[in-house]
Amino acid sequence: MGDVFKLVLKRLGLGLITLLVISVLIFFAVELLPGDIAQAVLGQGATPENLAALREQMGLNDPAPLRYLNWLVGALQGDFGISLVSGERVSAAIGPRFVNTLFLASYAAVIAVPVSIVLGVIVALLRNSIFDRVANVLTLTSISSPEFFLGYILILYFAVKWGAFPAIASLGSDMSLAELLNRTFLPALTMVLVVTAHMMRMTRAAIINLLSSPYIEMAHLKGTPPWKVIVKHALPNAWAPIINVVALNLAYLVTGVVLVEVVFVYPGIGQLLVDAVSKRDFPIVQACCLIFAATFILLNLAADVGAILTNPRLRHPK
Partner 1 sequence: MSYFVVGYYALLIGASCLAAFYSKRQLFLLLFSLTLVSFIMGIVGGVPALWGVTICAGLLALAGGTSYAFREFLVIIAPREPAKELRTAPLTASFGMFVIFTYAIAGIFAPVIAPFGEAEVVSTAFAPADPQMLLGADQLGRDLFSRLVFGARNTVGIALLATLLAFLMGAVAGLLAATKGGWFDQLLGRIADVIMSIPSLIFALLMLSIFGTNLVVIVIIIAIIYAPRVFRLTRAVAGNVVVMDYIEAAKLRGEGTWYLIRKEILPNSTAPLIAEFGLEFCFVFLLISGLSFLGLGIQPPTADWGSMVRENATLISFGEITPLIPAAAIALLTVAVNFVVDWMLFRSSGLKG
Which residue ranges make up the site for partner 1 (CB under 8 A)?
A: 18, 21-22, 25-26, 29-30, 32-33, 127, 129-131, 134, 137, 140-141, 143-149, 152-153, 155-156, 159-161, 167, 205, 208, 251, 254-255, 258-259, 262, 273-274, 276-278, 280, 282, 285-286, 288-289, 292-293, 296-297, 300
The CB-of-31 to partner 1 minimum distance in angstroms stands at 9
User: What residue type is 87 in one-letter code?
Assistant: G
What phi, psi does 82 have (nearest 5°)?
Answer: -120, 135
- Looking at beta carbons only, is 36 or 224 nearer to partner 1? 36
- Looking at beta carbons only, is 43 or 48 nearer to partner 1? 43
**For the packed helices 90-125 and 130-144, what is the interaxial angle rounded to 10 degrees?**
160
Which is it for the CA torsion 48, 54, 56, 61, positive or negative?
negative
Contact 264, 254 (CB under 8 A): no
What phi, psi does 80 have (nearest 5°)?
Answer: -105, 15
Rounded distance between C-alpha atoms, residue 37 and residue 280, angstroms:
10
The CB-of-77 to partner 1 minimum distance in angstroms stands at 22
Contact 248, 195 (CB under 8 A): no
- Looking at beta carbons only, is 79 or 132 nearer to partner 1? 132
Rounded distance between C-alpha atoms, residue 197 and residue 206, angstroms:
14
Element (H, E) at 142: helix 130-144
- Looking at beta carbons only, is 168 or 231 nearer to partner 1? 168
Question: Cα–Cα distances in Å, from 48 out to 53, 197, 290?
Answer: 9, 56, 32
- Looking at beta carbons only, is 224 or 252 nearer to partner 1? 252
Contact 167, 81 (CB under 8 A): no
- Looking at beta carbons only, is 19 or 46 nearer to partner 1? 19
- Looking at beta carbons only, is 28 or 231 nearer to partner 1? 28
The CB-of-42 to partner 1 minimum distance in angstroms stands at 16
- Looking at beta carbons only, is 130 or 177 nearer to partner 1? 130
The CB-of-112 to partner 1 minimum distance in angstroms stands at 18
The CB-of-111 to partner 1 minimum distance in angstroms stands at 20
Chain-centre distance of CA 49, in angstroms? 43
Q: Which of 247, 251, 257, 245 is nearest to 295 (CA)?
A: 251
The CB-of-152 to partner 1 minimum distance in angstroms stands at 5
Element (H, E) at 297: helix 282-310
For every residue of 66-79, DSSP letters joined together read: HHHHHHHHHHHTT-
Chain-centre distance of CA 278, in angstroms? 22
The CB-of-175 to partner 1 minimum distance in angstroms stands at 22
The CB-of-22 to partner 1 minimum distance in angstroms stands at 6
